[in-house]
């Protein structure tokens, strides 16, 4: 068997067998064939697609290309949550401590931000002293002791994906659904979870901009996750505006703490409770979604969720006093309140542009090696459907310099469309996908 033979077969639209797919994944992990052959294979997959069986085989082969974490030493059903990415999406920092406070272990490996999408690890590292690089032994011990850990992925987790992901970015194959599915699920499966809750975003700030494409992606991910032996549920959630009101690393940590402390609510809280509820059901801690959400709400009201976040921060070397004193988080030297400056209604937002505005302030990376300004970002004080006047606050900028603030103001204003007619509120959830099919909401 050679790589050329496999490329030829997929080029002609034929179905690959397991051994051929394993050969491809191993070649990517070991870099044993030239990049131009891997790139040709990626394009053949992009143009001709893959069956569910092929996609499952590729996912498992990519999972097995490196380390697979063994979480069997942790009692209970371990449920992972994955979001396909967005702006102001701080759900992990809200739901991980809440779910753990309800008795379900959360052993989560997260990623960094790149481009307009923020990364959980970058947010966590805005907490002074916070450590995200635990060994596998430390990771498992922490979850056994306090029920929760959120850490960076190990260096040898799904190395085939690392190679292919970089090539997809430069070969216009990022939008291939089989490659998206295998990339996401290979890492989730390698991280050792027993079940998976997927938050598949749709809208102007999402990987998939329209609902039907998002549902199609979710259906395939659920089928592949199920075929891989992991109960999988996907929720289609809206990303036509930032999920939270705070955009930027330390600011998003602040919003998560405010929610856990009972000082804030809104869409971020609702989405976190819904996703966390599905995690509790899959973990066997609740009989249905209604009971699960009641458990999470009790953990909020009792302060158990905030206490669990404090425990996690302390266990990972961070200063847990930030949960009681938000001034200990990084603070921007320039803070500027911006007003809407007109009357009307908020009709639309270009969420990708809003994410890029924060990135340009230093809250995100243009390249993987760029450094982060943890204090930079903004608080967006309007939502789609709001009626505004010239004096309505638009946003509060947190910037390094006055020049950064001026550029961010211009970018944020350009990303928001106002009109004279009312608009409907953006929906948080549009569909649920499980092994039984699609339920539109």
List, by residue number, the catalytic residues: 82, 161, 168, 183, 187
Q: For residues 273 and 279, what is the distance between their CA atoms, to the nearest angstrom?
A: 10
With beta carbons less than 8 A apart as the criterion, state whether 251 and 87 touch.
no
């Amino acid at each position: 068997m050679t790589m050329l033979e496999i490329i030829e077969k997929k080029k002609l639209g034929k179905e690959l067998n397991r051994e051929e797919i394993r050969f491809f994944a191993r070649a990517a992990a070991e870099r044993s064939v030239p990049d131009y052959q891997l790139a040709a294979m990626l394009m053949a997959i992009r143009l001709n697609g893959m069956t569910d069986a092929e996609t499952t085989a590729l996912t498992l082969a990519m999972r097995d290309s490196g380390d697979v974490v063994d979480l069997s030493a942790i009692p209970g059903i371990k449920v992972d949550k994955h979001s396909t990415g967005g702006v102001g999406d701080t759900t992990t920092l809200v739901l991980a401590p809440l779910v753990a406070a309800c008795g379900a272990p959360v052993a989560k490996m997260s990623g960094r931000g790149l481009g307009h999408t923020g990364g959980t690890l970058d947010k966590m590292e805005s907490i002074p002293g916070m450590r995200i690089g635990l060994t596998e032994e430390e990771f498992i011990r922490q979850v056994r002791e306090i029920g929760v850990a959120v850490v960076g992925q190990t260096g040898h987790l799904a190395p085939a994906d690392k190679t292919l992901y970089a090539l997809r970015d430069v070969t216009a194959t990022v939008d291939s659904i089989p490659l998206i599915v295998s990339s996401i699920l290979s890492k989730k499966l390698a991280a050792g979870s027993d079940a998976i809750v997927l938050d598949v975003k749709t809208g102007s700030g999402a990987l998939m901009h329209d609902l039907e494409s998002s549902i199609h992606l979710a259906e395939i991910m659920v089928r592949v996750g199920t075929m891989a032996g992991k109960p999988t549920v996907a929720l289609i959630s809206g990303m036509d505006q930032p999920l939270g009101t705070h955009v930027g690393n330390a600011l998003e940590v602040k919003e998560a703490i405010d929610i856990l402390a009972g000082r804030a609510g809104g869409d971020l809280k609702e989405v976190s409770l819904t996703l966390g509820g599905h995690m509790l059901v899959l973990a066997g801690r609740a009989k249905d979604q209604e009971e699960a959400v009641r458990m999470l709400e009790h953990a909020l009201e009792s302060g158990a969720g905030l206490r669990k976040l404090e425990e996690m921060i302390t266990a990972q070397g961070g200063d847990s006093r930030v949960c009681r004193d938000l001034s200990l988080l990084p603070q921007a030297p320039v803070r500027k309140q911006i007003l809407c400056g007109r009357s009307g209604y908020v009709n639309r937002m270009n969420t990708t542009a809003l994410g890029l505005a924060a990135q340009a302030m230093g809250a995100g990376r243009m390249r993987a090696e760029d450094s982060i300004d943890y204090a930079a970002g903004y608080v967006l004080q309007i939502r789609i459907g709001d009626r505004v006047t010239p004096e309505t606050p638009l946003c509060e900028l947190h910037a390094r310099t006055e020049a950064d603030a001026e550029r961010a103001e211009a970018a944020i204003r350009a990303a928001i469309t106002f009109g004279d007619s009312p608009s409907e509120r953006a929906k948080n959830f549009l569909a649920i996908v499980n092994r039984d099919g699609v339920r539109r909401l």
